Structure 1
Amino acid sequence: MEYRPTRRTTLLLGLSLAAVPATGLAVSRSAPDADAAVRSTVQATGLDDPAKKEIAMQIVCSAENSSLDWKAQYKYIEDIDDGRGYTAGIIGFCSGTHDMLELVELYADRKPGNVLEKYLPALRKVDGSDSHKGLDPNYTKDWKTAAKDSVFQKCQNDERDRVYFNPAVGRGKSDGLRTLGQFCYYDAIVMHGDGDDATSFGGIRKRALAKAKPPAQGGNETTYLNAFLDARVWAMKQEEAHSDTSRVDTAQRVFLRNGNFNLNTPLDWKVYGDPYHIG
């Protein structure tokens, strides 16, 4: 796959996020749970609406994998030479940033004896580094084999939601942001991690709050999102691998300038100069 500058700027070691039960993109409920299904529908008023979530996955995939086909990325794995070891799967789980380890541990819990379980000792040793020790030469091949397993695909969906998607949507809603703002938070957490240092999501948000107030604090949503995206661009430029800020400049900024706070289709944007369209 063609190299694109991606991934988080901070390690996720010590990340303390409450585990949020995730169901992936498809929700199936039996008749006795009809009331719960109604409550879920009412609560899904932003990026967590299934149709909007699908759009979010496509937009992120355009930046992370130069494609809109995010479901084709379960099998993706390579070292993109960014100091984080292997980057893999639908959201770019990294062997050096703890989230890949947690994913494979979850897979082992749900399906003992799977093809990746034998790599757990090596993944624990390389966590926090860019080393492949104990993973080569067959880890990438076995990852692609595992990616054909619906259990592993579900694990990827659930870890994406627990670590990235649900926290971003929750914080966006608490700041009074609509779907676009929640997406801006999600894309930032995907790339930068959910830490509190200057170039992590917490630091980016803090930098934005110093310039503008979010709607929940009586601020203007456009003004605040511009401040957040300014802070995001600053954080990206602190690392050479992220110096191309087109995923903000020619995507999220475009939606904001158009006043498309609900990410309504059609959507047109560019990443790394490549055009994308969702009708």
Structure 2
Amino acid sequence: MGVRRQERRRVWSWRGALLGITVALAGCAPDLEGTEEALPVAEQSLAACSYAITTNTYVGADWWGTIVFKNTGTAAMTSPTVSFGVPSGIVCDYDEPGWTHTQSGTTCTYSRTSALTVAVNASYTFYYSTTSNVSFTASNVTITDPSCGGTNPGPGLSANQKKVAEDLTSIWENDTPSINYAYSENIQDGRGYTNGRAGFCTGTGDAIQVIQCYNALRSAANGNLMAKYMAGLTTINNRFLSTGQSQASTAELDSVGNWRADWATSYNNTTTRADFKSCQDQVNDKLYYTPAMTEAGKWGLTQALSKAALYDAFINHGESGARSLIRSANTALGNSGQVAPVIGYNGITESAWLQKFLEKRRDVLAADSTWIEAVDRVAAYEKLRRRGNWDLGTAFRNDVRASDCWGSSYPFSGYTVRAINPDGTWSTPGTYTYSCQ
């Protein structure tokens, strides 16, 4: 039987890397070292990369796809890259003037051969073609640009692999593979309201990014119940930025309306659901998925399982915490100089690296009196590693505990066992046997 939601959220849902801030392993509370200088710069770089997808169609009869994105950031894009997933077996096969593309599995990535400026609040229409005469909707559309202040990520997960990775993380967060976009609760942890698919906090700078995105897509007159909270969110966020401290108060929000109810309704209302979901997905990818895939590329990790484990670590520990775990794994394998890529360095294999990374993460969770209750989440990736399910292409269950992999000293986390298929669909098995093999 799973742990009650409020207890689970208190234990497991806090992560960092909010607004690019360096955070401690214990959650999304910022590391105060260098805060006064780091916060404004980080805020600017993330805002400059904000965008909204307003059109995403592929008409099979025309062999033609259209993606329209709007630059909702604070700086002009100068050379955007567009990546998206296509159904299995489909090949992207045409470059519009000024574009060139590559394809890795089911992910097509288009980059510029010449400069292209997309001004703030301006929209750009991107066209592509494939070998398919069947209509579909491109998945996991991601726009990156040098205005982000960082580099474009290396190849990520295919659409199905990403769905499987998200299923797993959602089990650890909500005890079900179904992502809970409507969730909102104040669990009295000093971070205000915790919301949506990734536990976006009103007091730590990421919930405001969801609402900024949502406001760019839909006005209050057009059904946006969250627009009225923007002034209060801004006040709270300014305190967060100026102090570097998580903000517990929700007074500025509560004086305007019922934040929890409005958040839930924004997703549950079929009229506004698509926009609200899209913004949560975009902010989640920007803060957690894309940085995780960038790190995977940097260190030479090519397998879907490694990338899924890294993505879950970013969600759970934040960007700073995940990078600390990476450094610890590297050092333990003899790469104290942090030479990148680590795979292949002095004979280090991806299996050996992932094993060490999971052990280091296990130790971090087990060393904390609260986090130890979540230690079983690491065991699921270890079982998949031992079974060699590197591409996540074989159905599996999370019927494994840390004690099954590493001995009886670890407590049982209480996650409900789910069966997950390679396409991300899932079910709840009637019987199962805990094992790490």
1:191 aligns with one of 291, 316, 332: 316
Aligned partner letter, 2:314: I
1:209 aligns with one of 297, 306, 330: 330
Structure 2 gaps, min length 5: 16-26, 67-92, 109-154, 238-245, 336-341, 400-412, 422-437
2:416 aligns with one of 269, 274, 278: 274
Aligned partner letter, 2:234: R
1:19 aligns with 2:140: no
How has the CA–CA distance of structure 1 residues 42 and 106 changed in structure 2, closer, same or farther, with 3 Å as cutoff? same
Deviates further, 41-50 or 163-172: 41-50
Q: Give the corresponding residue for 2:253.
A: 135
Q: Give the corresponding residue for 1:243.
A: 372
Q: Give the corresponding residue for 1:223.
A: 352
The 5-angstrom pairing of residues 88-107 of structure 1 reads 88-107=195-214
Aligned partner letter, 1:44: T
User: What is the deviation of 1:173?
Assistant: 2.8
1:56 aligns with one of 165, 181, 184: 165
Q: Which has the larger radius of gyration?
A: 2
Q: Give the corresponding residue for 1:170.
A: 294
Whether the 8 Å contact between 1:164 and 1:186 is mirrored in structure 2 is yes
How has the CA–CA distance of structure 1 residues 223 and 262 changed in structure 2, closer, same or farther, with 3 Å as cutoff? same
User: What is the deviation of 1:79?
Assistant: 2.3
Deviations, residues 113-137 of structure 1 (Å, cap 9, x unaligned): 2211221232233342222222236
- Larger strand fraction of residues: 2
Aligned partner letter, 2:291: P
Secondary structure of 1:181's aligned partner? helix
Secondary structure of 1:134's aligned partner? helix
How has the CA–CA distance of structure 1 residues 111 and 27 changed in structure 2, closer, same or farther, with 3 Å as cutoff? closer
User: What is the deviation of 1:27?
Assistant: 6.2
Normalising to structure 1: TM-score of the pair?
Answer: 0.84
1:126 aligns with 2:236: yes
Q: Distance in 1 between matches of 2:103 and 2:279?
A: 21
Aligned partner letter, 1:19: C
How has the CA–CA distance of structure 1 residues 116 and 238 changed in structure 2, closer, same or farther, with 3 Å as cutoff? farther
Q: Give the corresponding residue for 1:117.
A: 227
How has the CA–CA distance of structure 1 residues 238 and 104 changed in structure 2, closer, same or farther, with 3 Å as cutoff? farther
How has the CA–CA distance of structure 1 residues 88 and 146 changed in structure 2, closer, same or farther, with 3 Å as cutoff? same
Aligned partner letter, 1:261: W
- Larger helix fraction of residues: 1
How has the CA–CA distance of structure 1 residues 267 and 143 changed in structure 2, closer, same or farther, with 3 Å as cutoff? same
Deviates further, 11-20 or 111-120: 11-20
User: What is the deviation of 1:19?
Assistant: 3.2
Percent of residue pairs identical: 26
Q: Distance in 2 between matches of 1:160 and 1:97?
A: 14
Q: Which has the higher contact order (CA 8 A, sep 6+)?
A: 1
Whether the 8 Å contact between 2:172 and 2:415 is mirrored in structure 1 is no
Deviates further, 131-140 or 220-229: 131-140
Q: Distance in 2 between matches of 1:117 and 1:228?
A: 42
Aligned partner letter, 2:383: V
Deviations, residues 83-104 of structure 1 (Å, cap 9, x unaligned): 3222211122112221111111
Whether the 8 Å contact between 1:247 and 1:272 is mirrored in structure 2 is no
User: What is the deviation of 1:53?
Assistant: 1.1
Q: Distance in 2 between matches of 1:208 and 1:225?
A: 8
1:10 aligns with one of 28, 42, 51: 28
Aligned partner letter, 1:120: M
How has the CA–CA distance of structure 1 residues 275 and 48 changed in structure 2, closer, same or farther, with 3 Å as cutoff? same
Secondary structure of 1:194's aligned partner? helix
The 5-angstrom pairing of residues 32-47 of structure 1 reads 34-35=93-94, 39-40=102-103, 42=105, 44=107
Whether the 8 Å contact between 1:22 and 1:162 is mirrored in structure 2 is no
1:68 aligns with 2:209: no
Q: Distance in 1 between matches of 2:299 and 2:236?
A: 37
Deviations, residues 142-176 of structure 1 (Å, cap 9, x unaligned): 10121131111111111111111122122213322
Secondary structure of 2:325's aligned partner? helix
Q: Distance in 2 between matches of 1:224 and 1:138?
A: 47
User: What is the deviation of 1:182?
Assistant: 0.5
Q: CA RMSD in A?
A: 3.0
